[in-house]
Structure 1
């Protein structure tokens, strides 16, 4: 993909110069033995930033979500998620196969679960229909919904349902800082609704690896033990944590540029006859395109010949993700390439 305008994901971002410098100077403690000073600094800073008692550096967002599910799974037999949630559809059965929870999905629109259905399906105790709900999960920003961000009132109402029934609320915030930028709030204002929260350092924040799981001290103590259980014990993790610290300190403020360019591309693709785009303007950095004639994979191959890498998620759909390597000139190139798609 060298030389390509790569819109497949914001995970393709490369470290900044400051991240490379930090990685070269990183501490090399063993995080599973005596610990590592840089990892500890990242965990402490993340916890303070998001208003949580403690945090745990993990390999990926999927690992963070699995650990949260494992910790919350002790209460009961079900996890409640929206029908399009990444945790339910794209994370390899972590909820069901690893944590042993029945995954109950709720109808949703633009990443928001139907609150009446949610209330009907979150159990506060045992009944002849099943075990209590162990956890409810919200994803923000919402990948399958094209980067939509739910409002604070929605978070509050879901949290209210969960807590009334004694269930934990987990926030899958892979792109939490994108969500905060879209709402014009600090990330902690979203995180406060979750008993546990994950966010990725390796997407729009541009670190090469890693995510952070946050919660109470007791929650993180249990998650730290379980991290090793599932093979997530980290040795010389300071190298990756050093890049993560730079990402956490410097990159959230830059996400508004990604959102602005996503809106710019959306405006230019609205009249394209080869694809169909959501008529609602994007909130963050993801565009999902429908390809009614089923030629998404053909389009992706042709766009690659024009120097544009996109992801065909199915024969009828494509996803474009804007990130820090995409400037205004790249938006022009991408727009022109889509205009020239063969009929």
Structure 2
């Protein structure tokens, strides 16, 4: 029994999801003639109260499309120093859009309205890049699955409105935040100009993300997606997995959160653990005490068929997901408890 807790991207489609995919009605989505893709786009856009959606092969492409949509070469966007759009998308904002980032030293990947306001370049000072976009990540990946308070996001929205800035949400794990904070998707849809959501993490679909926004913005995004090579043909088979995931796998995210919190409580009691960051959703980040090796711990766990990842600088990460069953959870708890 191999237990992979490296990421929630490692899940495989269930038999029920596969059957749903096999039965999908498909067409050519490049011509917008795939009925299942169209259904998914309309369904998720409606959930968030947005006018339209666009299906993408990856969350990174959806985010990069949003950045290109909202900026011009030479512009600057504002984000947290740990933001996915800055750290884990291959320098795409520079390569694809010719923009740079003003990085904010936030708290666990989360920034405040005051920090955003302080980071905006004066629009009439042509020596500095023009600030045009604020990117938010919720939940925060590198911040350990932390969830923004809704009022903080509203306060940042006010700053964006006052300064004529666009507002994008990288909602790769927004489903986890919605469940953990008992929030509604429309609360986010009404705040952000564009929202990206992922289907292949906590929801367990094999691939796929969506970008949501106005009809006008999604018409422009369709052209950008084409330029990026993201047009797919009979993508309805993949969209069907997303529809199944939305219908069956959102509520059960609570199980992932519960197990992550239980592991966090256990690790906090172990003598070789220095600290455990707050656990709100399905990501657990912890640090070892001085003298203990990250590589050594990873190897010991590997010998027990448990796989976790290192974030560097003394931090390790565990991510729970729908393929991490209760019997596995009990085995992991026992294995950690016995580690010397």
- Assess if the C-alpha contact under 8 Å between 1:261 and 1:327 holds in 2: no
Question: CA RMSD for the aligned pairs?
Answer: 1.7
Q: TM-score, normalised by structure 2?
A: 0.95
Query: What is the DSSP-based 3-state SS (H/G/I as helix, E as strand, rest coil) of the residue aligned with 2:310?
Result: strand
Counterparts of 1:65 and 1:313 in 2: how far apart (Å)? 23
Q: Secondary structure at the match of 2:155?
A: helix
Alpha-carbon offset, residue 262 of structure 1: 1.1
Change (3 A) 1:279 1:97: closer
Q: Measure the CA separation in 2 of the matches of 1:297 and 1:202.
A: 28
Q: Distance in 1 between matches of 2:93 and 2:40?
A: 27
Count of residue correspondences: 339
* 3-state secondary structure, aligned to 1:221: helix
Q: Look up the match of 2:119.
A: 121
Matched, 1:283 2:280: yes
Taking the TM superposition and a 5 Å limit, the aligned residue runs for 1:224-303 are 224-278=222-276, 280=278, 282-291=279-288, 292-293=290-291, 295-303=293-301
Query: Separation in 1 of the partners of 2:160 and 2:292?
Result: 40
Q: Which runs of 5+ in 1 are unaligned?
A: none
2:200 to 202, 211, 219: 202
User: Closer, same or farther in 2 for the Cα pair 1:98/1:294, shift >3 Å?
Assistant: farther
Instruction: Please give the secondary structure, in 1, of the residue aligned with 2:29.
Output: coil
- Match for residue 188 of structure 1? 186
Query: For residues 35 and 27 of structure 1, what CA distance do their matches in structure 2 show?
Result: 10
| Contact persistence 1:8–1:311 (CA under 8 A) | yes
Contact 1:107 1:114 in 2 (8 A): no
Aligned mates of 1:228, 1:293 — CA distance in 2: 51
2:70, 2:133 within 8 Å by CA — same for their partners in 1?
yes
Residue 24 of structure 1, CA deviation: 0.7
Q: Segments of 4+ in structure 1 off by > 3 A?
A: none
Bigger Cα displacement from structure 2, 26-35 vs 166-175: 26-35
Answer whether contact 1:29 1:35 (CA < 8 A) is retained: yes
Pairwise CA distance, 1:76: 6.4
- Preserved CA contact (<8 Å) 2:277 2:286: no
Q: Distance in 2 between matches of 1:111 and 1:191?
A: 21
Unaligned 5+ segments in structure 2 are none
Partner secondary structure for residue 290 of structure 1: strand
Identify the residue that residue 9 of structure 2 maps to in structure 1. 11
Q: SS at 1:303's partner residue?
A: helix
TM-score, scaled to structure 1 = 0.94
CA contact (8 A) 1:297 1:315 kept: no
